Amino acid sequence: MEATEIRKLAALEDTHWWYRERRALLARALRRLADAGQRPGPALDIGAAGGGNTRVLRNHGWRPVALEYSPEGAQVARERGLNVIRADARNLPLPSDSLDLVVAFDILEHFDEDHLATAEMYRTLRPGGTALIAVPCDMRLWSAHDVAVGHVRRYDRESLRAVVEKAGLVVDELWSWNVVLRPVAAWRRRKSTGSDLDDLPAVVNLGLRAIITAERYLPVKSLPGVSLMLRAHRPAGN
């Protein structure tokens, strides 16, 4: 992602409906881990950009490190008081078996060799550790937005599951997100000429936020959406 997109993301992520709801999804996943008995420990937020998700991890008691490849993104995260390392997700500068949690939201689609990134997640996770992954889905939604933000592909359920399982991780849950607004996204992407990371009028942002929040309570996780979410773990003893 270009430096201008990183700065744009950092400026938008505190208020934009999409980033707010994605942080809410991460917070819910962390609460579920806590309810299942997984205590907070060392965590890695891969592709942290401005560090919005890293701050969610920290607020829930985890000891997160923000990993960002671009110097601009790393600088933004440092400005926000986060512990940051610059590195490539395909070659993590961390010891094996050192993490309890890895978060990789909208990262894998940027790599030709996405299997190298998932292999590094497996290597650095301790047995029993968790990976939370989000990716854009469905090549039918491919547009100028994907080109502008440096995507290589959009996933379907089978391709996402395959690259995660190839690394040795066990998929616990795989579901669609941003389902209700998919028709709007598809219409907008057909007309797009670049990134759609835009600052919206307050009333529009509020309306979209209400819709995406309502989706939490609807039985739509198996339907086509704009993104896929996945929770996996490294098996104990491996």
| Mean pLDDT of all residues in 175-193 | 88
Report whether pLDDT(15) > 90: no
DSSP string, the chain: --HHHHHHHHHHTTT-HHHHHHHHHHHHHHHHHHHTT----EEEEET-TT-HHHHHHHHTT-EEEEEESSHHHHHHHHHTT--EEE--TTS--S-TT-EEEEEEES-GGG-TTHHHHHHHHHHHEEEEEEEEEEEEB-GGG--HHHHHTT-S--B-HHHHHHHHHHTTPEEEEEEEES-TTHHHHHHHHHH-SS----PPPHHHHHHHHHHHHHGGGSS-TTS--SEEEEEEEPPTT-
Q: How do residues 57-112 score in pLDDT, each as one tens digit?
A: 999 999 999 999 888 878 888 888 899 999 999 999 999 999 999 999 999 999 99
Domains of the chain: 3-233 (3.40.50.150)
